[in-house]
């Protein structure tokens, strides 16, 4: 009987120790209702401090990619992002589309400076979006692409890139002068003839250089985000390395040096008759509806990754 009682005492001691250990562990993993309540209260206060806006003003400035050429029905990415933010964030969205086909960076700035209405809209915006650079580069390529002298072409593009950087700085400075606080989202450009001429590496390289310049310039500004859609838009439905290799094998090595203007280049693209499923067949240059979905998806993802525009001050 004595041995039995000693055994029971050992069991009781072990149980008490185990119970205490369990209580301690449970307290760590699952704080008491008082702690939970305090945490919930603090969380509620934090949520209250970072409450979301119910209304959003988005102003888009730029070239034809902002205007939405190629997707007139939905209005390109500007129309699509409005619908996306309405559906996914339950916002009342007001958009201003200040895109104009053919505009270079300096021409976009000139339009901003000319229109007091646009200036007021930019000043009141929560979000600013920009498409810029494509026409600056196109103007340069139309002048240099006809030369067989690679060194000369490279020098021409490098010089134009320096000029472009200065123009871009003036544009971004003006936008920031009008609105220092709005989140600024800027798209890259892409190579619209890549699928037809994947072996013309010079154009691919120039597009990449141009994008790097845009990003480098943009990096000097606060709450400013660069969005690259270059690879996706340029490659279209050709996504894997194997598909790209096959595409290159099936394409000729046309240098395009015998083509003197955009019209002839477009004719050459049409003659190749390889469709990029993200680019409109009407001009083989601008995105189609699916292509603008790429823009919209990239913009939405970047906006949600940097949501200062969504939070009430």
238/94 Cα distance (integer angstroms):
36
State the pLDDT at residue 258.
Answer: 55
206 within 8 A of 161, measured Cβ to Cβ: no
Q: Which residues pair with 131 in a beta bridge?
A: 62, 187
Neighbours of 251 (CB within 10 A): 17
259/145 Cα distance (integer angstroms):
8
Residue 268, class by beta-carbon neighbours within 10 Å (0-12 exposed, 13-18 middle, 19+ buried)? middle
If you write DSSP's letter for every residue of the chain in order, what string do you get?
-HHHHHHHHHHHHHHHHHHHHHHHHHHHHS--HHHHHHHHHHHHHHHHHTPBPSEEEEEEEESHHHHTTT-TTTTHHHHHHHHHHHHHH--EEEEEEEE-TT--HHHHHHHHHH-HHHHHHHHT-SEEEEE-SHHHHHHHHHHHTT-S-HHHHHHHHHHHHHHHHHHHHHHHHHHHHH-SSSEEEEE----TTTTT-TT-HHHHHHHHHHHHHHHHHHTTSTTEEEE--HHHHHHTT--SHHHHHHHHHHS-----TT--SHHHHHHHHHHHT---TTB-TTTSSSB-HHHHHHHHHHHHHHHHHSGGGGB--
State the pLDDT at residue 112.
Answer: 98
Sequential pLDDT tens for the chain (313 residues): 333 334 333 333 333 333 444 334 344 334 444 444 444 444 434 434 568 899 999 999 999 999 999 998 889 999 999 999 999 999 999 999 999 999 999 999 999 999 999 999 999 999 999 999 999 999 888 766 656 788 888 898 999 999 999 999 999 999 999 999 999 999 999 999 899 889 888 889 999 999 999 999 999 999 999 999 999 999 999 999 999 999 998 887 665 555 556 666 667 666 666 899 999 988 889 999 999 999 999 999 999 999 999 998 7
Report residue 217 as tokens: 């310039």
State the pLDDT at residue 207.
Answer: 96
CA distances from 231 to 54, 194, 208 (A): 35, 10, 10
HSE value, Cβ hemisphere, 13 Å, CA-based, for 194: 27
The pTM (predicted TM-score) of the whole model is: 0.81
Cβ neighbours of residue 132 under 8 Å, at least 6 residues apart?
Answer: 62, 63, 105, 108, 168, 171, 186, 214
State the pLDDT at residue 259.
Answer: 56
Give me the phi and psi of 96, to 5 degrees please: -120, 120
Report residue 281 as tokens: 């067949």
């Amino acid at each position: 009987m004595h041995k039995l009682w000693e055994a029971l005492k050992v069991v009781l001691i072990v149980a008490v120790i185990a119970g205490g250990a369990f209580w301690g562990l449970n307290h760590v993993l699952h704080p008491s209702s008082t702690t939970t309540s305090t945490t919930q209260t603090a969380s509620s206060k934090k949520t209250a401090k970072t409450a979301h806006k119910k209304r959003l003003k988005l102003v888009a400035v730029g070239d034809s990619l902002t205007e939405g050429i190629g997707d007139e029905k939905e209005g390109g990415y500007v129309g699509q992002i409005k619908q996306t933010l309405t559906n996914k964030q339950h916002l009342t969205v007001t958009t201003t589309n200040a895109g104009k086909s053919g505009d270079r960076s300096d021409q976009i700035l000139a339009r901003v400076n000319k229109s007091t209405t646009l200036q007021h809209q930019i000043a009141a915006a929560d979000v600013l979006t920009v498409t810029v650079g494509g026409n600056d580069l196109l103007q340069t390529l139309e002048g240099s692409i006809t030369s067989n002298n690679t060194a000369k072409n490279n020098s021409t593009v490098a010089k134009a890139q320096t000029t472009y950087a200065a123009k871009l700085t003036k544009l971004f400075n003006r936008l920031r002068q009008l609105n220092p606080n709005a989140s600024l989202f800027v798209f890259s450009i892409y190579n619209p003839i890549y699928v037809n001429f994947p072996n013309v590496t010079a154009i691919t390289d120039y597009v990449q250089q141009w994008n790097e310049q845009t990003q480098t310039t943009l990096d000097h500004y606060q709450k400013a985000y660069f969005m690259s859609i270059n690879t996706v838009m340029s490659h279209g439905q050709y996504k894997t390395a194997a598909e790209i290799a096959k595409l290159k094998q099936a394409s000729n090595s046309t240098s395009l040096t015998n083509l003197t203007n955009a019209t002839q280049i477009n004719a050459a693209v049409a003659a190749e008759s390889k469709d990029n499923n993200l680019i409109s067949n009407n001009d083989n240059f601008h995105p189609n509806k699916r292509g603008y979905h790429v823009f919209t998806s990239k913009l939405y993802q970047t906006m949600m990754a940097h949501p200062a525009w969504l939070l009430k001050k």
